[in-house]
Amino acid sequence: MPELPEVETVVRDLRESLVGRTFQSVRIGRKRLRRPWSSAWNRQLIGCTVAGVQRRGKWILIDLGGPWLVAHLGMTGQLRVVPTIAPRQDHTHVIGCLDRGLELRFRDPRRFGSISYFADQAGVDAFFTADRLGPEPFALDPAGWRESLKRTRRCLKAVLLDQTVIAGVGNIYADEALFEARLHPTLTANGVTLHQADALRRAVVRVLKRAIARRGSTIRDYLDGNGKAGGYQHEFRVYGRTGQPCSRCKTPVASIRLAGRSTHFCSGCQRA
């Protein structure tokens, strides 16, 4: 599933191609996405001009100068602006016809993603409040972060995956951040020291920034807003490297299952 760096990359690409474009019509496919599209939204979008594109956690927010479109890429979603004459790929479920011969296309083979319309900012705020979406990693209050860890006996890996605690981090970057901080993924959150808590917070930010600079990670399906693969997968230090030597100490990278996800770590650098 695309995580924060992949979504941020798509958002930056969309800003370049989508801001200033006006919706002229909307076409919807027959198959239902994770969140159903209402036919009433087709009429409401006509005449709306894109004022900006933002990210919140793993969500893409398209500002229409009052109304909003809110999209989630799910596992295989792709959101791109392309010329109207570009061949339409299979599994394209939402097409926003724009001015200047362009289209905003949402494609999702597995249909775990979604794109929804909100009439105003209050609707968007209520949506994220109901979803209990946590703070952004780059704006994480150190004291609040330490308190979040102290309140739970879950392992650190599970805490990092919890979108109500920290928004945008998924399996890949949780593993990479724990390696960066030299913390074992099974450590109990309320048992870490203040120093370890701060080290993990800083590690999350460093890893995410490096991944954004490489335009995200392509493991299988992810493509950026220009239809290109990311590059950070070539720099993984533990994720997906089971049995390979650690880049720091040469201990073979281990893999276990935690919080329902495969988890990669170095038993030499990350002591339990």
The answer to whether residue 210 scores a pLDDT higher than 90 is yes
Query: Given pLDDT bands bounded at 50, 70 and 90, which one contains residue 229?
Result: very high
Fold of 137-266: Helicase, Ruva Protein; domain 3 (1.10.8)
Cα separation, 212 vs 24, whole angstroms: 33
pTM, to two decimals: 0.95
The predicted pLDDT at position 138 comes to 97
Beta-sheet strands, E only, within the chain: 23-28, 52-56, 59-63, 68-72, 78-83, 92-98, 102-107, 114-118, 253-258, 261-266
Query: Given pLDDT bands bounded at 50, 70 and 90, which one contains residue 220?
Result: confident
Is 58 known to be catalytic? Answer: yes
Is 180 known to be catalytic? Answer: no
Q: What is the arithmetic mean of pLDDT over 129-147?
A: 96
Domain at 4-130, CATH from 3.20.190.10, 3.30.1360.170, 3.40.190.290, 3.40.50.2000: 3.20.190.10
Of 49, 44, 5, the residue nearest 23 (C-alpha): 49
The predicted pLDDT at position 15 comes to 97
* Percentage of residues in the chain having pLDDT higher than 70: 100
Catalytic residue among 2, 5, 67, 137: 2
Catalytic residue among 3, 103, 176, 180: 3
Domain residue ranges in the chain? 4-130, 137-266
Q: What is the arithmetic mean of pLDDT over 6-26?
A: 98
Which one has a higher pLDDT value, 220 or 254? 254
Catalytic residue among 21, 55, 56, 58: 58
Is 206 known to be catalytic? Answer: no
